[in-house]
Amino acid sequence: MRAAVTALRMLVRAAGLVMVTLGVLFWTGNARGLIPVHMLVGVVLVLALWSLALLAARAGVSPGYVAFVFLWGLLVPTLGVTQDRLVPGSSHWLVQVLHLLVGLAAIGQAENLAARTLRRRRAQEAEAA
């Protein structure tokens, strides 16, 4: 389980870096043709987040927190896909900032889940020894 958690954590970090880099390019009016890539990497990030949530649940991490993270994973693509229709006009930047914050929070949740899962597994292994 430790290797899977570490691999998923690295995948989330790499996907997050790509997502933020592409997002900055989009905000500066560049590389708009890469929006489908941004969306695909976002799906990968959410699937990795959900995989971490499943591993966390198996390790005995708080079910409430695992459910919260799973629901957060639903929020990320929902906001991403609908953001062009939300708050059109000169205030649209607010939705873009919200999308950035929700995505960064998803990365943070993945980090937190990974840490909790590994900590829980270490505690279980210590109890068994």
The pLDDT tens digits of the residues spanning 35-56 come to 999 999 999 999 999 999 999 9
pLDDT value at 11 more than 90: yes
Domain of residue 24, residue span: 2-128
> What pLDDT does residue 12 have?
98
> What pLDDT does residue 110 have?
97
- Note every long-range contact of 72-80, with CB atoms under 8 Å and residues 24 or more positions apart, other chains counting: 72/102, 72/105, 72/106, 72/109, 73/46, 73/49, 73/106, 75/102, 76/42, 76/45, 76/46, 76/49, 76/102, 76/103, 76/106, 77/39, 77/42, 77/43, 77/46, 80/39, 80/42
Question: pTM here?
Answer: 0.91
Q: How many domains does the chain have?
A: 1
> What pLDDT does residue 68 have?
97
> What pLDDT does residue 73 have?
96
pLDDT value at 129 more than 80: no
